[in-house]
Amino acid sequence: MWGDAIIGFDRYTSINGKKQASDWPLAGFSPRKAQMTVYLMAGFSDRPDLLEGLGRFKTSVACLYFNRLSDLNLDKLKTLIKWSYETAKLRYKA
């Protein structure tokens, strides 16, 4: 668990703009009240091939937001999470 609401898998350490290190999961999920969130590697939205046909969702820098799992194509979601996890693992040598 990461905090009280995020289920995370593996970890990496990133350095923010203030040169402070922080740990974060390579992939994560949070079933929040307003919407569900999948935490991915920053930049995933630059890969339209991974998002095409995924379903109804919103994005931010490193998050995919959706209301219900039934709003998404689960095979596409699995592919997106796998790509993000494996790419982050290589990038951050986690």
Report how many domains make up the chain.
1
For every one of its 94 residues, what pLDDT tens digit does the chain have, with 9 covering 90 and above? 888 999 999 999 888 788 899 898 999 999 998 999 999 998 898 899 999 999 999 999 999 999 999 999 999 999 999 999 999 999 988 7
CA distance 32 to 65: 10
In this structure, the dihedral spanned by the alpha carbons of residues 58, 27, 45 and 35, taken in order and rounded to 10 degrees, is 0
Residue-range definition of the domain harbouring residue 70: 7-91
Task: Tell me whether residue 1 is in a domain.
Answer: no
Among the listed residues 55, 46, 62, the one whose alpha carbon sits nearest the alpha carbon of residue 78: 55
Task: Tell me whether residue 77 is in a domain.
Answer: yes
| pTM given for the model | 0.88
